[in-house]
Structure 1
């Protein structure tokens, strides 16, 4: 038996009846645990060779792994619906009926390049695709229909997590001006002309984002029953972290809620469907163009809230709880001490020494 450490991972390698086996010792933290995992894998491989358990199936389709992933995601991921878009991109690239045993590390590298050049995705977004694809293969291994995962030999791209995009005061003013954009249209039935504001529906949604730091999904799925007007807070139960949290309601936000007709259990309703908005990407992108605001996503409104609070000296623990970050490390990305604050800190120490 042989185990070895390479790039922070433990690998096994052994021979049985002239057949070579090798791979990652998943979950191994040291040599002893890696050897235990290798022993279990070797025992299982011997059983397979002796016909005691099924061998790897031949010509397994990528679509089959996709079905395994969808079943897993529905039971284990809050954001599984968003994964459907990524799954479609993956299957369109490799082919729905692609044989997974023929998807090599080289093809994975080609896929990474496709996402970067053809779809113009950032490294962080590309890594999310790789994570989904890797999970698909691992589920195939767990269900004993395939043996290997080509992504184990594929490195993730380096992510730049230090660039935080947030709205400046000037950009915020331009954003709300663009939301109020109006133009003339002709009614198809009456042939009369009228003035419309196609993006004004975004106004209360954007204000909610800037007054609470809530995630897009939390806003679009917000119900009136989540809002306690007597005590002045929003109670979010179905969150990304899985933990419920309460967000206080500002006077500005209370006015927004008061202006909305309560015609549904949901706060923000698409008048065309009488259901909650499914997505805002197209409309929000158009408003960004009208406002001449570059490289800004709806999620960056959340970054804006965090940045503004930290800049005003709000304690990081408070910001973490308000935004529902599961880890304080996420919140710390917004903490960038300015020279004036550093000087204030030194002055405090200086005053202690004078006593």
Structure 2
């Protein structure tokens, strides 16, 4: 289990025990009060270089000027879309045409990881990808017509062919937030990325540009 997962569970349990003690009076003391809290994991500094993006897109068979008709090519489109929008893998896979407004240049996410809906502004590049996908996927309910398992599996294979190590699809989110930080203030950045806690967004602002 990753350190970040342990810490999230730790914080949740601590909060629940504090409520049981302070509000419900079920406990005299928080039983884990004196237990040493796990250390915060080091912040990941991985940036995605343009050369790596180009190699991955080549390995996935994605072409900027061609319709992404294959599953692999659509994973390539999803990769670029993620870097443009800071959307998570699951959010991209579950995005439906109903919630994409090309005229207003926004994608609405009715359900996200933190259970809050949010609107994601779409850049010109993101709109270009949406337009590409309309010609091959408009009859499908979802925009990318992909499952998260397909994205993970095909990206893993593409990394091997492109000889790229230590790269995960989730790194696209951090890369997107780092790029967006050059254009918007931190409150706007948090609204776009869906961070309810400002600390993760603040940590990303400290990454090297």
Question: TM-score over 0.5 for the alignment?
Answer: yes
- 211, 224, 243: which one pairs with 2:97? 224
1:326 Cα deviation after fit: 0.5
1:269 Cα deviation after fit: 1.6
Which residue is 2:111 aligned to? 238
Structure 2, unpaired ranges of 5+: 18-30, 63-69
RMSD of aligned alpha carbons:
3.3
Paired with 2:179 and 2:95, the residues of 1 have a C-alpha distance of: 24
- 75, 79, 83: which one pairs with 1:206? 79
Change (3 A) 1:173 1:337: closer
Paired with 2:74 and 2:167, the residues of 1 have a C-alpha distance of: 19
Which residue is 2:186 aligned to? 316
Paired with 1:209 and 1:199, the residues of 2 have a C-alpha distance of: 15
Encode CA deviations 1:309-344: one digit per residue, 9 max, x unaligned.
Answer: 22x253212211111110221210012287xx9xxx
TM-score under structure 2 length normalisation? 0.73
- 257, 265, 268: which one pairs with 2:144? 268
Change (3 A) 1:180 1:255: same
Which residue is 2:44 aligned to? 163
The answer to whether the Cα contact below 8 Å between 1:309 and 1:319 also exists between their aligned partners in 2 is: yes
Change (3 A) 1:125 1:239: closer
Structure with greater strand percent: 1
Paired with 2:84 and 2:117, the residues of 1 have a C-alpha distance of: 18
Which residue is 2:205 aligned to? 335
3-state SS of paired residue (1:174): helix
1:157 Cα deviation after fit: 3.5
Change (3 A) 1:295 1:233: same
TM-score under structure 1 length normalisation? 0.45
Structure 1, unpaired ranges of 5+: 1-114, 116-121, 139-150, 182-196, 271-276, 342-355
Change (3 A) 1:126 1:245: closer
Aligned residues: 185
> Pairwise mapping of residues 1-355 of structure 1 onto structure 2 (< 5 A)?
122-125=2-5, 127=7, 152=32, 155=36, 157-180=38-61, 199-260=72-133, 261-270=137-146, 277-279=147-149, 280-310=151-181, 312=182, 314-336=184-206
When Rg is computed on C-alpha atoms for both structures, the one with the higher figure is 1
Change (3 A) 1:127 1:242: closer
Higher relative contact order (CA 8 A, sep 6+): 2
